[in-house]
Amino acid sequence: MSQIYPIGGGKGGVGKSFITASLGALLAKWGKKVVLIDLDLGGSNLHTLLGINDQQGGINRFLDKTEKNLENTAVSTVIQNLFFISSSLCSMEIANLLHAHKLKIINAIQKLSFDYILLDLGTGTNFNTLDFFLTSNQGIFICTPEPTAIENSFRFIKAVYLRKLKHIVKRHSFNSAVKKAIIRPNHEAVTSPDIIEIVLKHDPDRENFLRNSLSKFKSKFILNQFRKNLDPTIGYKIEDLCNRHFYSNFQFLGNVGYDVRIHDSVLSKKIFVHRYPYTPPAIDMKKIAEKIINNRPSVSLTGEIS
Ligand SMILES: Nc1ncnc2c1ncn2[C@@H]1O[C@H](COP(=O)(O)OP(=O)(O)O)[C@@H](O)[C@H]1O
Ligand SMILES: [Mg+2]
């Protein structure tokens, strides 16, 4: 079964695309068949990080039915076993993806046959990004060790959990008082800990079900652009905080050091870990890729999004 890792985070410029390309390249170099999918619809630039001049497009051909099978839109890269599906030639309206198109993409991703499928997501908490993040229960969020980025990450996690909780409550026979309290238009209004309280108050019999559903989540995160003078244990503190607040399992995968050569490799359209394999950030990325390879396969969330 393919392992799907959506890679997201609340803030732009934290390194989501850089981490996607680096992780994909390392997994492929170790013999795994990997596809990277650019799902930053409207802001796609993963092709540039991979040094690919996208002439024919990927997702656009799948959505306009020129190509029925999403897998056939995958192109090869400079690294053997590493494939790429682009969204750079999608129309300007693609950022406001139709609901039916979103489901079509998610269903097709879940049918792809690769060892690893990495999804490079856009910035922010719009429903498309949240639903792409919920394509599997082991999304990785990327953050930098700055208060603004950490703040945005918490907002992103809260939004993901609330979206997930709404799906669970909508699909299962929760008391109508719970449904009324949770499924309201302002999706920032309730946080997930509040939801457990609401369920306890109105529907105590469903508490275990809700706790079990949430415990299936194995979110992961990486602190990128990490500078030497910072406390290296910040990530573990965030992990502990998230584990206490979201009734799920959060795993800190590690810090990735700041290095100006990353900027250089973006400018020269070369994959950083390929061009500078022995630099500290490339070694940080290798340790993270090892953790991913050793990770137990996740339970599929197929059919949860509607
Ligand atoms: N560890 C790092 N050290 C130095 N610069 C980095 C690092 N990670 C990313 N960058 C820089 O930040 C820029 C934004 O990264 P990118 O992956 O495009 O962010 P996002 O996809 O989250 O918007 C990159 O062009 C790169 O120059
Ligand atoms: Mg990006």
Inform me whether the pLDDT recorded for 298 exceeds 70: no
- By residue range, what is the domain housing residue 21? 3-146+219-294
Cα(73) to ligand 1 centroid in Å equals 26
Q: What is the pLDDT of residues 218-228, one digit of tens each?
A: 999 999 999 98
255's tokens: 């810090």
Ligand 2 centroid vs 210 CA: distance in angstroms? 33
* Pair of tokens at residue 42: 């409207």
Ligand 1 close to Cβ of residue 17 (< 6 A): yes
Tell me if 162 is assigned to some domain.
Answer: no
Find out whether 83 and 38 touch, Cβ atoms under 8 Å: no
* 195 located within any domain: no
Say if 274 falls within a structural domain: yes
Confidence of residue 12 (pLDDT cuts 50, 70, 90): confident
Total domains in the fold of the chain: 1
179 contact partners, CB below 8 Å, separation of at least 6: 169, 170
Domain of 84: which CATH number?
Answer: 3.40.50.300
Closest CA to 16 of 129, 115, 114, 104: 129
pTM, entire model: 0.92
Nearest CA to ligand 1 atom 17: 15
Find out whether the beta carbon of 226 lies less than 6 Å from any atom of ligand 1.
no
The answer to whether the beta carbons of residues 37 and 109 sit under 8 Å apart is yes
Task: Let me know if residue 11 belongs to a domain.
Answer: yes
Task: Give the Å distance between the CA of 287 and the centre of ligand 2.
Answer: 22
Check whether 39 has a pLDDT greater than 80.
yes
Q: Long-range CB contacts (< 8 A, 24+ apart) of 200-206?
A: 202/175, 202/177, 202/178, 203/174, 203/175, 203/177, 203/178, 206/172, 206/173, 206/174, 206/175, 206/178
Residue of 180, 227, 185, 177 whose CA lies nearest to 204 = 177
pLDDT digits (tens, 9 = 90+) for 137-180: 999 999 999 989 888 888 898 888 888 888 888 887 777 777 77
Residue 270 belongs to a domain: yes
Q: Which of the ligands is closest to the CA of residue 45?
A: 2
